[in-house]
Structure 1
Amino acid sequence: MQRNKDLYQFLLNKAEQLTEDWYASLDKSGTGVYSSTDPEVIKGLKAQNFEFHQHLCKIFIMKKDDFFEEFEDWVREIGRDPEHLNTPTHLIMREFLRVREQYMDFINMYTKETEDLVSQKSIDIWKYAVIEAIDVLMTRVVEEKSNHLNARIEEQQQTINELSSPLIDLPNGKALLPLVGDIDSDRASAIFENTLEGCTSKRVDHLFIDLSGVYLVDTRVAQQIFQLITGLKLIGVTTTLSGIRPEIAQTAVQLGIDFGEILITSNLAQAISAEAIPSQEN
């Protein structure tokens, strides 16, 4: 146990050297945080690396669960750091592996200084502990980065969906929902939720849905569009459809959707300028 404490102190004393040696040997020709020439970014990168060493050497004096728990704040910081988010993941992994080699060298350096006191078994145990710890931490950082990027993508997609289905206010409790582009299931779900909420908050009693800009929908999406109309009816909103393309009409018919109670016009101008007439079933 004392030897573990001695090794911990040895590595802790070398933390600053580990950081400087690491940065000096860093391949700065790539992209991302490692190639930055901004003094503040470089300073921050070195500080993150130095903090890593201060934590990592504790693997020799702490219980494993406590060790990894203490490391979580650092993992989250790196995984969400804008500079690391803009750095290719394979370069981040490369640096973890380079640091791992640094530790192998420093353990060898320590054992040479205490050659008569350290068994090969102890050396192997120390090296395995470092290898395992760095592998786990590397995986956690990559996972945190991936989760954070995916969350950002989902937020951006949600924003895109909201912007691509704007609810436009019209006079006298009316509103317009112009739909443009392909509609997949995710976008259809967003349209459903945003439209119901928007009509409720804006107190809309008549909504014009224009489909003239929609060229492709699958059967599930077509069903969701007509479920939206049903949902609007339940909250007291009358719906008029305009610009239904033949492909969409064909899909709706194949699904057995009843147009009998749906107000339909051939184009948006007709829908807004004239009173829509319910379609008649043949």
Structure 2
Amino acid sequence: MKTEIREAILQHQETIIEHWTTELDKFRTEDNLQSITKKVYENTNREFIDKLFLTVQNGQEDVHQELIQYAERLIQLGWPLNYITRGLQEFRKVTVETISKSGVSYNNSIEFFQEFENWLDGIVNVLVNEYSGSWENTVFLQKMALKELSAPLIPVFDKISVMPLIGTIDTERAKLIMENLLDGVIEHRSEVVLIDITGVPVVDTMVAHHIIQASEAVRLVGAKCILVGIRPEIAQTIVNLGIDLRKFPTKSTLKKGIESALELTKREIVQIDE
């Protein structure tokens, strides 16, 4: 930013800060920042505007790392990206209005505002990119964690494993279920696998198709599959949709499924008299 432009902005610093702070106070009442105390909000606003004017005074390159650290702190505290973008928009508007009304003479007013816009765009890129990168990384880690937990195959007895399914099953998750199921059967040397759909809210044609595919895949690797957790409403839906589940056994509860699995592996639960 040219020296003349920098000096013009710094000359009206207090006026810009006053108007900007007033606009940001309105923003707090309009959006999801009401839970933040007034003092914390005011301190954060003050730090935000101080960083902006520090960048005006010293240049973006010298304050680049401080901007990134400021954005990182906001991200860690859970402040929305909208706070950053709204703050920068208001800074642009207030600064342009203040300079326009001040009557500051400059050789080329168009060049003045173009340079200011270019400078502010650089600030926007730094802060928004930091936010975007952080959230993308967070979403990626959460997605990986959910994948690891979404379809585990759990060995409950020798040669008997259970895969509890919870939540909605889409095509991507069905692929993951298939992979975990087949890998788990081989790893645990399972002869019987129980797929528990107690936690699946809706079983439609697509979900049933994925379950049937999983059952067929288990059969091809030498194991048997039992579908458990058939609630009355799920049974009615399956019948109404005309879904054929006769190819593999079904049980209403996990307990009954385990009893059947023990029978298939030539074992049973017996009560011992004391």
Contact conserved, 1:196 with 1:232, CA < 8 A, in 2?
yes
What is the alpha-carbon distance in structure 2 between the residues aligned to residue 179 and residue 41 of structure 1? 43
SS of residue in 1 equivalent to 2:164: strand
Alignment of 1:48-67 (within 5 A): 48-56=48-56
Amino acid paired to 1:205: S
CA distance in 1, matches of 2:148, 2:56: 45
Answer whether contact 2:67 2:126 (CA < 8 A) is retained.
Answer: no
Cα 1:106–1:188, aligned 2, differ >3 Å: closer, same or farther?
Answer: same
Which of 47, 54, 67 aligns to 1:74? It is 67
1:16-70 per-residue CA deviation (whole Å, 9 max, x = no partner) reads 87556633663255145598436566434422332233335678xxxxxxx69x8
Rounded Cα–Cα distance in structure 2 between residues aligned with 1:193 and 1:77 = 42
Who is 2:112 aligned against?
126
2:94 counterpart of 1:102: yes
Q: 1:226 to 1:154 in 2, by over 3 A?
A: farther
In the alignment, the residues of structure 2 paired with residue 147 and residue 164 of structure 1 have an alpha-carbon distance, to the nearest angstrom, of 25
Residue 100 of structure 1 and its aligned partner are, at CA, apart by 0.9
- Could you say which residue in structure 2 is the equivalent of 1:187? 173
Are 1:238 and 2:223 matched, yes or no? yes
CA displacement 1:210-267 (0-9 Å, x = unmatched): 3355463444443433443455456x562422246465586654xxx993xxx52434
Question: 2:157 and 2:129 mapped to 1: Cα distance?
Answer: 50
2:222 maps to 1:222: no
AA partner of residue 216 (structure 1): V
- Contact 1:178–1:211 under 8 Å retained in 2: yes
Q: Which residue of 2 aligns with 1:8?
A: 6
| Shift of residue 99, structure 1, vs aligned partner | 0.7
Q: TM-score, normalised by structure 1?
A: 0.61
> Structure 2 CA distance, aligned partners of 1:205 and 1:8?
72
With over 3 angstroms needed to count, the CA separation of the structure-2 counterparts of 1:196 and 1:148, relative to structure 1, is: farther
Higher relative contact order (CA 8 A, sep 6+): 2
Residues 86 and 211 of structure 1, relative CA distance in 2, 3 Å threshold: same
Are the aligned partners of 2:168 and 2:202 in contact in 1 as well (CA < 8 Å)?
Answer: yes
Residue matched to 1:22: 20
In 1, Cα distance between equivalents of 2:111 and 2:133: 33
**TM-score, structure 2 length as denominator?**
0.63
Give the whole-Å Cα distance in 2 for the aligned partners of 1:50 and 1:167.
54
Which residue number corresponds to residue 211 of structure 1? 197
Other-structure match for 2:160: 174
CA deviations 1:155-209 (Å, max 9, x no partner) are 55665565554543312142211334542334323433444555566x2423211
1: CA distance between counterparts of 2:116 and 2:34? Answer: 23
Cα distance in 2 for partners of 1:105, 1:58 equals 23
Alignment partners' CA distance in 2, 1:134 and 1:98: 11
Could you say what secondary structure the match of 1:188 adopts?
Answer: helix
